[in-house]
Amino acid sequence: MNAICQAECFVVSVEASTRREWLAATAGVFFASSVATAQDQAATKAVTIPPQLWQETRATSRRLLDQSRDSFERSLMPLADLLDQLSVATNLNLRLAGVTKQRDVQRDWQAQLVRQLEGVTAQLERFQQPASIGWQADVYLARFSLANAQARLAKFEDRPELAATMQTRAAEFAQQHWAKRLDDSSIGHASPMQIWRATNLLNNAEGRPAGTDRNVLRQAIDATDRWSFLGAGIGRNDVRQAFQYELTRVDLQESKPGTEVFAANAQRAESLLVQLHETTTKFQAMGTASLYDVATTWRERSELHSRLQSAGDEFVPETWKQRRESDFRSLQRLAANTTDRRGRNAADTTYVEVLSLAERTADVR
């Protein structure tokens, strides 16, 4: 992988980028990492969840699957957003089913995800429009997500040979997706954030550390600063803050818990996400960012706190938790005040409901 070539492609990319390319992948890299721990829980004692809460979680999650898929099929939601919302709903139910030792529920949700992705992939393939901007790269991304979900299901069912085969195919699709995004960027049809996401996905699929291409992020930040100086939309503050957080996330991932470097990176990551949430909220009030944008920015902070807590509670000060809770209450009010549920708004408001359920059950692990 030639990181210098990627960085140069950042500079020549002229597509009007939005933060959505970053937001849609904040959970990781589309089903590539976050559920494995939930489905392999090793606790000896099952946790009990109130039946009413279980029922609400399942019903709301299934509603999100239906609404986001409907929005995608009507071309109201891009693939990246759809994959993100499928991931959030599935991960929540896999986590809860894992800690309550409900293997049948775990399998049902994994199989349901595979069916959803089979339908999405087939729909994109039938579209068959090579001249459509980003179509081929999206096809590879959908194929990657499907192969990865199939590998996880096969592993859960104790079918190691099939799991290994699907993991190999997922890595191949990740490589094809990255190569196509790079081709698109050379003619201005892919943004810097799309290239970084494709690169990060490939690194994960092939088991390479995210820091392998850290210089790509630095080049992207420099390019964003130049666009900002020129007054271009792809130089917006939220885009730059998203890139800065990505760089800090990589640094945090590669630093050792308990060290001063780790603590400094954690502090910087928190500060950047707070700034990003404030910026996105302001843009939403002006009509240049969506409810989904605000919600996913908040979710990234919640997931950061979860990762930090796994390294030790001392890394998540009470003031951080209080600020996150306050911002979430504001997000819930924003969703409740979204009275026009046409278009994709129904899915996005349900997305906030699923985040609320994830927050209510955050201690169930």
Whole-angstrom CA distances from 343 to 74, 230, 242 are 9, 34, 26
Among 23, 80, 16, residue whose Cα is nearest residue 242:
23
More confident residue, 312 or 89: 89
Distance between CA atoms of residues 188 and 12, nearest Å: 7
Query: Which residues, at least 6 apart from 4, have a Cβ–Cβ distance to it below 8 Å?
Result: 215
Distance between CA atoms of residues 115 and 62, nearest Å: 13
Long-range contacts of 104-109 (CB under 8 A, 24+ apart): 106/39, 106/156, 107/153, 107/156, 107/157
- Given a cut of 60, whether residue 92 has pLDDT beyond it is yes
- How many beta carbons lie within 10 A of that of residue 150, not counting itself? 23
- Given a cut of 80, whether residue 36 has pLDDT beyond it is no
How confident is the model at residue 41, as a pLDDT? 45
Among 358, 349, 310, residue whose Cα is nearest residue 87:
358
Q: Quick one: pLDDT band at residue 23, thresholds 50, 70, 90?
A: low
The pTM score is 0.86
How confident is the model at residue 223, as a pLDDT? 83
Q: Which of 79-83, 194-198, 276-280, 352-356 has the lowest mean pLDDT?
A: 194-198
Whole-angstrom CA distances from 341 to 76, 290, 337, 345, 346 are 13, 13, 10, 5, 5
DSSP class of residue 19 equals T
Query: Which residues, at least 6 apart from 17, have a Cβ–Cβ distance to it below 8 Å?
Result: 191, 192, 193, 194, 233, 234, 239
Distance between CA atoms of residues 335 and 293, nearest Å: 12
Distance between CA atoms of residues 176 and 202, nearest Å: 9
The pLDDT mean for the chain works out to 86
How confident is the model at residue 269, as a pLDDT? 96
Tell me what the mean pLDDT of segment 73-94 comes to: 95
The 10s digit of each residue's pLDDT in 240-270 is: 999 999 999 999 999 999 899 999 999 999 9
Q: Quick one: pLDDT band at residue 46, thresholds 50, 70, 90?
A: low
pLDDT-above-70 percentage for the chain: 87
